[in-house]
Structure formats: C-alpha cells, structure tokens
Amino acid sequence: MIQPIIRVNVIRQFRFLRTRLFSTLTLVRRSKDVERSGKILTRETINSDVKSAEYAVLGTIPAHAEIINKIIKTDPQRFKFDKIVSCNIGNPHIFSQKPITFFRQVTSLLENEDLLKQENRGIIRKLYPEDAISRAETLSKHIGPLGAYSESKGILHIRENIAKFIELRDGYKACPETIFLTQGAGEGIQRVLQILHQPNHTQQTGVMIPIPQYPIYTAALQLMGARPVPYYLDSGRHFALDLERLQQSVREARQQDIHVRALVVINPGNPTGQCLPEENIREVIQFCHEEGLVVLADEVYQANVFQPKNHPFHSFRKVLLSMDPKYGKQELFSFHSISKGMIGECGRRGGYVECLNIDSGVLEELYKVFSIFSGANIQGQIMVDLMVHPPVEGDPSYPQYKAEMDAIHTSYHRRAQKLAECFNRLEGVSCDDAKGAMYLFPRIRLPPNAMTEARRASMSPDSFYALALLNETGICVVPGSGFGQEPGTFHIRCSFLPEESLFDKLCLDIEQFHKRFMEQYKG
C-alpha cells in the first residue's frame, strides 16, 4: 500500500508546509551570522507595503502544491496520486486546451516574416488558408519590425479594431485614442489604480472592491499603500450587488476618514461566476454617480457566459450610454483580456483598457505612465487584434474557427454543470451554478472538530480543508478566505478547466475525500 509522506493530520501538514515552503522560496529568516554580514536589504528593511500584500491564487496552498509536484517528479510512489490538478487558477492551456488554429497560424506567419515574402507564396498557400496569410500581411504592414517597440498606447491599427469590436458589441461608437493596450488586464488595472491613488492627500485613498473579490485588487492597493474598501455581494441573490450594502460600505469608510474614489465591479464574476442583470448595473452606475465614484469594470470573462438567454452579459459601457443624459459624465474604465474567453492565451499577456468620460488631462498622464514602461508587448497586442477581429462567416477559416470556439464553450458549460452537481451532492456543501467565468465558489459547512483543528494549526477553516484536499487527492483549490467572504461562512474556489476526460475521476476524488474528511471530524 502506498504511504503518502503527507497524511491528513493537517497540523503536521502545516508544519511541513511552513518549513518546506519558506525554504523553497528562500524566505527563511536570515541567521545571525548572515544578518551580521551587513546586507542593506532584508525582509525587515524592504517596503512594508510589499510584505503586507497577498495573492491567494498563487499563495500558500498553491505553493505547497508546487513542493508536492517536485517530490512526485523524483519519487512518484510517495503519494496516492501521480500529479497535481491545478484548479486554483484560470490557466486553460496547462490543461491541454487546444489553441485556436487561425490565431496560431497568423502569429506563426508574423514570427517568421520570411514566409510572407512573395517568392514563398506558393509554399505557404499549401500550409495556410488565404485569410490567415492576408491577416498576417495586414498586421505586418501596420506593426513594422516585430521586435521593435510599438506606440505607447499600442498599435493604432489594433486600437481601431478594438473600437470597432466595442461598437459592434454595444451599439455605440468608441474612440481608438481612449484605448490603451496592456500586458494583460492586470497591467491596465494597476495603471488605473496608480492614477486614482493620492498618496499626499490628507485622507488615505480608498477603492471599493467586491467581496468575494479577485485578489489582484487588494494586492495592488496594498502595494501602493492605498486602502481596499470591501462591499459584500449578496449570496442570496446569486452574488448580485446590493445597494444598501454599497451605501453602508462607503458610509463606514468615510467615517474612518478614507477618501473613497472608485468602485470595482467584476462581471461576469470571479470567483462567484454571476452575470449581473442590466437593472443591477444601472443601480450601480446611479450609486457611483451620486457618490462621486469612478467605475472600474473588470469584464475579462465577457465571452464566458453559459446561460445567455436568462443571464446575458451586459457591458457597463453599453448600459451607461443607454441611460439618462444626466449620467453622461460618469467616468468609467473597462478592462478586457486574451487570457480568458475561449482563447486562454494567458502567457502572451495581452489586454486593453478603454477610458470613457475621462478628462483629457488624465488621459495624457495615463499615456505618460504607459510611455515610461514602453507599452505592451507586440505578441500580446497581436492576439488582442485576433480576439476582437476573428474570422467571420464567408472567410475560409470561419468554419474551423467557429467549431473550435463552440467546442470549448460547450465543454466549459458541461464541466461547470458536472462540478456544481458534484459539490451539491456533498454533505454540508452548497454551490450556485456558474452563469459565467471559469470557477465555482461552493460554500462548505465544516464540523466543529474541524474548526477546532484549524484553530490549533493557526489556519482558517477553509485553508485547513483545502490543504487536506490537496494532500489527499492532489487537487489544488484556493480557500475562500483568499477572496474574502461573509463572516462566519467558508468557501473554496475551484476552476472547472481540467480536461473533460478527467472529470469523472476529479469529481469522484472530491466526493471520496469529502466523505472521509467529514467522518474524521464529526466525532
């Protein structure tokens, strides 16, 4: 019988984790001899805001998973499983998701520019469809040398295509000059938060963020010394935004002398998977208008919508522009990315931020910030162009493109349903269906003995559960405490991205683990 090095005794696991993790990340405290060596930089002397920042998606539990993964490679008999299943992150291509053929054809032609020379046309026509060749030639013309810097805002031709995409989606014109291409949505978020932050103000800058939230917002605000102002989503209404909670949150923050400047909305939701109804979006815009807040709309999952008839995606931009003219000056930043949708090209780091009703002077300052960091990488920009301007009906590549996109989308939906059904079969667990995005956020009610053991291990109960799940099955999820959750409730976030062929085993492993866990801690 295979004996795992790490058993369900979670207190021992946590001690093991703490020792091995800190050693692996070279974050162990320096010995007295090293401290006497006169190092200028130590953990005690670096920026305290950096030390306080956390990012749960790649935090303690995933780091522990990496340690286990390394052990498996050298000693595969040490565990009851042969690999880590990384359900902690929305990273589709690590689960063998096939790239979209047309996108890779265009990018490969651009990377090898000799293929586009006239004398090679006969050869490449045997390997590539005509529309892929034509698209590569058009992009090459507008980009120039692929290894050179682009304009700081991003390549104009691509920004024009983004504007057309937004207009087609929303029915309202967009301006290429108010669009900035970014290294994924994360860079756009960080740059906008930098613009919002006022470190020399008499009050600390605050930004309202949803709870549960995607932790990039808390981490980015902590890094710059600003203050996250949490507002709780209404879990009883599929994690809708509740006006009373918004008002309470901003009121309490201002009573604490916090200068609240903006509100973040993630739609479709991460980690909660909800799609906000149009009326709820209108209420949020009205609230921000009345309270003098800038809206930051994180819409990177807009293509990941699984119930479009009952729960469609509505962009904040479209809703805002359809409202009474008195809201016409409401400031809005919207973010999108190539990392999600059916594309999943996370490693290429491509995205954009569109700025609506933003003062021209602020746009100039934002341009300056992007100029300082030399703009977004070209490969990411190219993939953004392909995302917003894919093959259309009548193009040679359209049938294959549509078949690939539809297959991924329907498979996501099947996996989401199967995993939600699995969680809802578990004792003490309840889970909403995913309306969008890539994750489920089940609530887990743990036995009192498990809560006691978690306290003894100095862990949150959901972290205790997630660590035990990882040690027993190799399934890596993120504790709900890393995203924030209502007091007294505990969750995990689990992606439904593992290969569909593995899903029966994945669900069986979760069910068997949960049954053992509950039996162990019931007494």
pLDDT in tens, 139-189: 999 998 888 889 999 999 999 999 999 999 999 999 999 999 999 999 999
10 Å CB burial of residue 31 (0-12, 13-18, 19+) is exposed
What integer pLDDT is reported at residue 74 of this predicted model? 84
**CA 282 to CA 287: how far, in whole Å?**
9
Q: Domain 149-388 belongs to what topology? A: Aspartate Aminotransferase; domain 2 (3.40.640)
Within the chain, which residue ranges are assigned CATH 3.40.640.10? Answer: 149-388
pLDDT, position 7: 40
CA distance 223 to 205: 13
Q: How far apart are CA 212 and CA 484, in angstroms?
A: 5
Q: Which residues pair with 351 in a beta bridge?
A: 182, 337
Taking each helix axis from N to C end, the angle separating 398-425 and 503-522, rounded to the nearest 10 degrees, works out to 20
Decide which of 455 and 80 is more confident. Answer: 455
How many CB atoms within 10 Å of residue 505?
A: 13
Q: Does position 508 have pLDDT exceeding 90, yes or no?
A: yes
- Place 484 in a pLDDT band, splitting at 50, 70 and 90: confident
Q: Do the bridges between strand 179-182 and strand 351-356 make them parallel or antiparallel, or are there none, so unpaired?
A: antiparallel
Segment 361-371 shows an average pLDDT of 94
Above 60 in pLDDT, residue 334? yes
pLDDT at 321 over 90: yes
Arithmetic mean of pLDDT over the chain:
89
* pLDDT tens digits, 9-52: 544 555 555 555 445 444 444 444 444 557 887 778 777 777 66
Q: How far apart are alpha carbons 24 and 20 in whole angstroms?
A: 6
Sequence-distant (6+) residues with CB within 8 A of 189 are: 216, 217, 220, 296, 298, 335, 353
Between CA 43 and CA 46, with CA 45 as vertex, the angle to 5 degrees is: 70
Which ranges of 322-476 does DSSP label H, i.e. alpha helix?
360-372, 378-388, 398-425, 448-456, 461-473
What tens digit of pLDDT does each residue of 192-220 get? 999 999 998 999 999 999 999 888 899 89
* 182 exposure class (CB count in 10 Å sphere: 0-12, 13-18, 19+): buried
Say whether pLDDT at 514 is over 80.
yes
Q: pLDDT-based confidence at 56, cuts 50/70/90?
A: low
Report, as an integer, the average pLDDT of 294-308. 95
State how far the Cα of 272 lies from the Cα of 433, in Å rounded to an integer.
9
Name the band, by pLDDT with cuts 50, 70 and 90, for residue 89. confident
Record the tokens describing residue 366, joined without a space. Answer: 């934002």
Look at 318 and 498; give whichever has higher pLDDT. Answer: 318
* Burial class of 18 by CB neighbour count within 10 A (0 to 12, 13 to 18, 19+): middle
Q: Which amino acid is at 355?
A: C
Residue 333 CA to residue 358 CA, distance in Å, equals 8
Least confident of 144-148, 264-268, 388-392: 144-148
SS3 333: strand
Residue 263: name the closest of 238, 277, 278, 283 by CA. Answer: 283
Q: Where in the chain is the domain with CATH 3.90.1150.10?
A: 48-95+404-521
pTM > 0.85: yes or no: yes
pLDDT at 12: 52
Question: Is domain 48-95+404-521 annotated with CATH 3.40.630.30?
Answer: no
pLDDT at site 33: 42
Examine the pLDDT at 62 and tell me if it is beyond 60. yes
DSSP state of 29: P
Using DSSP's 3-state secondary structure scheme, residue 234 falls into: strand
